[in-house]
Chain A
Amino acid sequence: MNNHVIEVNKLSLSFTSYGRGLSQISTTVLKELSLSVDAGEVYALVGSSGSGKSLLAESILGILPKNAETSGDISFLGKALGVGELSQLRGKEIVYVPQGVTNLDPLLKVKPQLLLTKEMEERKSEAFETLELGDEVDGLYPFELSGGMARRVLVSTALLVDAKLIVADEPTPGMTREQARRTLQFFKDMARDGKAVLLITHDLDLALEIADTIGVFHEGSLVEEAKREQFYGDGEALKSELARRLWRALPQNEFTDALDQIDTSQEHTSLDAAQEHILEARHISYSYPGQKEPVLKDVSFSIRSGELVGLYGGSGTGKSTLAQILSGLIKASEGDVLFDGKLVRDMVNSVANPVQLIYQHPELAINPRWRMKKVLEEVGQDNKDLLEQAGIKEEWLKRYSYELSGGELQRFCVVRALMPSTKVLICDEISTMLDAYTQAHIWNVLTSYAQAHNLSLLIISHNDALLNKLCDKIIKLENL
Chain B
Amino acid sequence: MINMRTKTLILLSVLLVLLLGFLFIGISMDPELYGSHMVNRLKAPSFEHFFGTDYLGHDMFFRTIRGMAFSIIIGLCACTISGLIAIALGTLSAVCGGIVDRVVLWAVDLAMSIPHLVLLILISFALGGGVKGVMIAVALTHWPSLTRVIRAEVLRIKTSQFVKQSKQFGKSNAWIAFHHVVPHILPQAIVGIVLLFPHAILHESALTFLGFGLPLDSPAIGAILSDAMKFITTGQWWLAFFPGLILIILVLMLFSLGDNIKRLLNPQTAQE
Contacts and interface: CB of A to CB of B under 8 A. Distances in A.
B168 interface: yes
A15 B170 contact: no
Interface stretch (B119-127, B141-149, B179-187): B179-187
A25 to B, nearest CB: 10
Contact of B169 (A66, A352, A366, A368): A352
Contacts of A400: 267
B179 A66 contact: no
Given A22-B5, A359-B161, A364-B161, A351 B170 contact: yes
A367 B162 contact: yes
Nearest to B264: A18
B5 A365 contact: no
Contacts of B6: 22
A16 B271 contact: yes
A101 B235 CA distance: 63
Contact of A367 (B3, B180, B270, B272): B180
A329 interface: yes
A67 interface: yes
Interface string A82-109: 0000000000000000000000000000
Contacts of B168: 327-329, 348, 352-353, 356-357
A350 interface: yes
Interface string A391-405: 000000000101000
A173 B238 CA distance: 68
A349 interface: yes
Contacts of A364: 160-162
Nearest to A400: B267
Given A350-B170, A356-B168, A400-B267, A18 B5 contact: yes
Given A18-B5, A365-B161, A367-B180, A349 B271 contact: no
Which among B164, B168, B267, B272 has the greatest number of chain A C-beta atoms within 10 A? B168
Nearest to B176: A349
Interface string A11-38: 0000111100110100000000000000
A384 interface: no
Interface in B178-213: 179-180, 183-184
B168 to A, nearest CB: 5
Given A16-B271, A364-B161, A369-B184, A22 B170 contact: no
Contacts of A356: 168
A364 B271 CA distance: 20
B56 interface: no
Given A348-B167, A364-B160, A67 B183 contact: no
B267 A378 contact: no
Interface string A402-425: 100000000000001001000000
A17 B269 CA distance: 10
Interface in A255-270: none
B173 interface: yes
A65 interface: yes
Nearest to A358: B165
B272 A65 contact: yes
Nearest to B179: A378
Contacts of A67: 271-272
Contacts of B180: 367
Contacts of B9: 22
Contacts of B80: none
Interface of B: 3, 5-6, 9, 160-162, 164-173, 179-180, 183-184, 267-268, 270-272
26 contacts: A18-B3, A18-B271, A22-B6, A22-B9, A24-B3, A65-B271, A65-B272, A67-B272, A329-B164, A329-B168, A348-B168, A349-B167, A352-B170, A353-B169, A356-B168, A357-B168, A359-B165, A364-B160, A367-B162, A367-B180, A367-B183, A370-B183, A378-B169, A378-B179, A379-B169, A402-B268
